[in-house]
Amino acid sequence: IQRTFSIIKPDATKRNLTGAITAKLEEAGLRVIASKRIRMTLEQAQTFYGVHKDRPFFGELCEFMTSEPVVVQVLEGENAIAKNREVMGATNPADAAPGTIRAEYALSVGENSVHGSDAPETAAEEIAYFFSGLELV
């Protein structure tokens, strides 16, 4: 059993898609074991996306992620990291497979509705960045 970290991004929370997206995650066999709605600070967004700090879209990305509340979640299941990436679909919704979250809901490559950890190390780091051990049951 594996855990991964997910964010329902501002474009999605704003359009009341939290339930629809969570349903897709659950249908894929992922269990939501922690969930909360937060408004990220600019500093949190910059730290969270630190690996992208030299990319041209970094400023825009951090501004977007702090523009509205987000829902941060911990998902658990068999191969949760890969399974979540699969149900999310490609980063650019134009390339996302039909039926995936991004194919159905994303607005653009930036406003693409969800984040999901890409490896066990980043999943552990990202979970610990937003949740305390006591919140994970």
Q: Is 10 in the site for ligand ATP (CB under 6 A)?
A: no
The CA distance from 29 to 60, in Å, is 33
Q: Which of 13, 112, 126, 130 binds ligand ATP (CB under 6 A)?
A: 112
- How distant is the alpha carbon of residue 66 from its chain centre? 14
The CA distance from 113 to 122, in Å, is 19
Only segment of 24-32, 34-42, 56-64, 67-75 that touches ligand ATP (CB under 6 A): 56-64
Q: Is 76 in the site for ligand ATP (CB under 6 A)?
A: no
- Cβ atoms within 10 Å, residue 136: 13
| Encoded tokens for 10 | 């501002």
**Least distance CB 7 / ligand ATP (angstroms):** 7
Binding residue ranges for ATP: 9, 57, 85, 91, 102, 112
Binding residue ranges: 9, 57, 85, 91, 102, 112
